[in-house]
């Protein structure tokens, strides 16, 4: 019996990821509850000790030994109920402690099912994560059993469970994917300075290198595009623009608007506005589909960006000159 108790504790500790000493303490408290239930006594000093090496159980009431085995069926049932509650509480604490430390990190898991639009993902054999509809990439569906990677967005502890919120739309999901695919980023040789994303459609990532011998854009793209391809495949085909970071706002805005070629840039620091001139044949590229390119470039650089053709820019200059003359 004593060796069997030790084996049970060992199995629970391994399966539930709980410290063995916590389980022994829970067992002792459960047995104390059972003894009190048996005697109907809330005042007496009840002590139960389990030997961690042999599994031997000793109990006493006000210093007098008690035979635990002779207590009967009802106290045993009480001990079982208390034990289940305490192990569940320990399991919740263990899960919360583990995943709270991993908040903001990547995690992989197997898709289990959809529940009212929320995707349930099995993170390990005892923990499930929840990905709300708003954290899922639009247009992507996942089959049960499919392996996916996600960002641990938040970890919430409730009375009945630990809720691990997952995301595939958060900008930091892209950041973590780059860290996992590009060793130079993980090692601190290359840094992601800014990131703007419209999940499922397009992202812009501004990178810089602390080593003159390492090209940040080339390292992120990889040989024949191998590194960026792995990230794009994980995102279901989302387009990613790698932008070379520059401390000069003019150069950075021009880089951020690629693949469009910029002719001229005028910055108004008071308004935080950048007026960008592009040739007529570059206008649609600069603006992008539904304004996506210029919108992401503005978020990446923290500048409000106006795109103009040379004719529009010259007309604006003429109107300004006319206004100045009239003053």
Domain spans, the chain: 2-100, 106-166, 170-245, 247-327
- pLDDT for res 151: 97
Q: What b/e sequence results for 167-184 when a residue is b if at least 16 CB atoms lie within 10 Å of its CB, and e otherwise? A: bbbbbbbbbbbbbebbeb
Query: pLDDT digit string (tens) for 30-50?
Result: 888 888 877 777 777 888 888
From 51-55, 210-214, 280-284, the region with the lowest mean pLDDT: 51-55
Q: Tell the CATH topology of 247-327.
A: GMP Synthetase; Chain A, domain 3 (3.30.300)
Q: What top-level class would CATH report for the domain 170-245?
A: alpha beta
Query: pLDDT digit string (tens) for 127-175?
Result: 899 999 999 998 888 999 999 999 999 999 887 788 999 999 999 999 9
| Coil, helix or strand at residue 87 | helix
Supply the mean pLDDT for the chain.
88
Give the Cα separation of 27 and 151 in Å (integer).
37
According to the CATH classification, is domain 2-100 in 3.30.1480.10? yes
Q: Is the pLDDT of residue 274 over 90?
A: yes
Query: pLDDT digit string (tens) for 291-324?
Result: 999 999 999 999 999 998 887 766 766 666 666 6
Q: Is the pLDDT of residue 325 over 70?
A: no
Q: Are the C-beta atoms of 104 and 172 separated by less than 8 Å?
A: yes
Q: Per the confidence metrics, is the pTM higher than 0.75?
A: yes
- pLDDT for res 74: 77
According to the CATH classification, is domain 106-166 in 2.40.50.140? yes
- Hey, what are 43's tokens? 């005042």
Tell me whether the CATH fold assigned to 170-245 matches the one assigned to 247-327: yes
Query: pLDDT digit string (tens) for 70-95?
Result: 677 777 787 788 888 888 888 888 88
């Amino acid at each position: 019996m004593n060796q069997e108790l030790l084996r049970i504790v060992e199995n629970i500790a391994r399966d539930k990821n709980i410290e063995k000493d916590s389980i022994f303490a829970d067992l002792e408290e459960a047995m104390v509850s059972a003894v009190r239930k048996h005697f109907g006594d809330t005042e007496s000093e009840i002590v139960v000790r389990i030997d961690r090496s042999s599994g031997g159980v000793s109990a006493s009431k006000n210093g007098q030994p008690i035979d635990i085995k002779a207590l009967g069926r009802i106290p045993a049932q009480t001990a079982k109920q208390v034990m289940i509650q305490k192990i569940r509480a320990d399991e919740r604490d263990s899960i919360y402690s583990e995943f709270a430390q991993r908040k903001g990190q990547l995690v992989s898991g197997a898709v289990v099912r959809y529940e009212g639009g929320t995707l349930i993902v099995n993170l390990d054999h005892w923990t499930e994560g929840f990905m709300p509809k708003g954290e899922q990439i639009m247009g992507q569906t996942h089959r049960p059993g499919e392996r996916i990677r996600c960002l641990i967005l938040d970890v919430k502890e409730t009375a009945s469970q630990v809720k691990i919120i997952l995301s595939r739309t958060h900008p930091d999901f892209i950041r973590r994917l780059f860290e996992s695919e590009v060793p130079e980023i993980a090692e601190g040789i290359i840094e992601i300075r800014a990131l703007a994303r419209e999940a499922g459609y397009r992202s812009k990532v501004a990178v810089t290198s602390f080593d003159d011998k390492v090209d940040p854009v080339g390292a992120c793209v990889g040989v024949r595009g191998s590194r960026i391809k792995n990230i794009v495949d994980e995102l279901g085909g989302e387009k990613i623009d790698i932008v070379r970071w520059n401390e000069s706002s003019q150069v950075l805005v021009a880089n951020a608007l690629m693949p469009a070629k910029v002719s001229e840039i005028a910055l108004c620091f008071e308004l935080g506005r950048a007026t960008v001139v592009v040739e007529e044949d570059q206008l649609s590229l600069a603006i992008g589909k539904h304004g996506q390119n210029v919108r992401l470039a503005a978020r990446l650089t923290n500048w409000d960006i106006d795109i103009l053709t040379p004719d529009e820019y010259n007309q604006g200059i003429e109107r300004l000159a006319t206004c100045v003359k009239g003053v």
